[in-house]
Structure 1
């Protein structure tokens, strides 16, 4: 599943429940639903890797799709409804475009997503940033991240290790 479609589901659900959602909070919610899915089901919820950025975990593709909103809320009407994939050969030739339409009925583990969003909606975006900054998988790279090193990815192993040794970090548990 594409992270963009999980993000869209989070946006739709948040709007339906009257929760404010901007790009920064969306990124943190993506992190926590992905972490929860890894811990409870053994695999990531989406294909794309999460990276360690200055403001915590980010899915770059989703960030770039929604960055135009800045700190403003994202409404359901403004969601990106198609995911476009293509590749470029070493000779500069484009592959065929593959366009996938968003369909909320095809999003997996929606109950996990909804329960996590419900549990975390009361946290502000910067509270979630601060929480993720305290997590060892981000903290051990803090100097490099703050020096502008890009592309540092979260691994399944470090997520399992951190949350396995720090059950209190599972802030979705009420």
Structure 2
């Protein structure tokens, strides 16, 4: 299990590379990365039967959120920024873990092209956020059940 910030750095590194490669890539925002973390956690629970990171996901007004990520990036719109060696190390640490790499790449492929607002609206229609009182922790069992039924294609 890695910390949530390692996954944030994975998405930052990926976004930075996309911004260099494609003209119309938008910088990663705090809101968007928190929704992507929610999907990483849910997919990991459904596919690997374990959390990808230990931090809780909260049901905030604008959708699922990780408080530690919010605190780090409070007031910042673009969180991609300059990529450091530590960011690259975090990226490679996740890429080198076959289970986590599969999860994070699947989430990026499925949801990475959506805007923060699109992801917010999407999560607002999903059971884990709907059934959790605002500002409370979204239960991992609720997430796992929902992701198994609605998100992950079981083969």
TM-score range, shorter chain: 0.7 to 0.9
Q: Which has the larger radius of gyration?
A: 1
Report the CA distance between 1:119 and its aligned residue.
Answer: 2.1
Hey, what's the Cα distance between the residues in 2 that align with 1:164 and 1:118? 18
Q: Could you list the runs of 4 or more consecutive aligned residues of structure 1 that deviate by over 6 angstroms after TM superposition?
A: none
Q: Where is the strand percentage greater, Structure 1 or Structure 2?
A: 1
State the Cα distance separating 1:43 from its structure 2 match: 0.6
Structure 2 residue 9 is matched with structure 1 residue 25: no
CA distance in 1, matches of 2:117, 2:15: 18
Q: Identify the residue that residue 11 of structure 1 maps to in structure 2.
A: 12
Q: Kindly provide the CA deviation profile for residues 25-64 of structure 1, in whole angstroms up to 9, marking residues without a partner as x.
A: 0100111111111111011110111111001111100111
Task: Give the structure 2 partner of residue 163 of structure 1.
Answer: 147
Aligned residues: 143
Partner of residue 48 from structure 1, selected from 50, 55, 63: 55
The offset of 1:104, in angstroms, is 2.8
- Partner secondary structure for residue 39 of structure 1: helix
Distance 2:142 2:106 in 1: 24
Query: Relative to structure 1, is the Cα distance of residues 41 and 120 closer, same or farther in structure 2, using a 3 angstrom cutoff?
Result: same
Q: How big is the alpha-carbon RMSD for the aligned residues of Structure 1 and Structure 2? A: 2.7
Pick one of 116, 129, 143 that aligns with 1:138. 129
Q: CA deviation at 1:122?
A: 2.1
The alignment status of 1:121 with 2:112, answered yes or no, reads: yes
- Structure 2 stretches lacking a partner, 5+ long: 20-24
TM-score where L is the length of structure 2: 0.79
Map 1:91-106; keep pairs closer than 5 Å: 103-106=90-93
Structure with a larger share of its residues in helix: 2
Residue aligning to 2:22: none
Structure 1 residues 162, 115: CA separation in 2 closer, same or farther (over 3 Å shift)? closer
Query: How many Å apart are 1:128 and its aligned residue?
Result: 0.7
Greater relative contact order (Cα < 8 A, sep 6+): 2
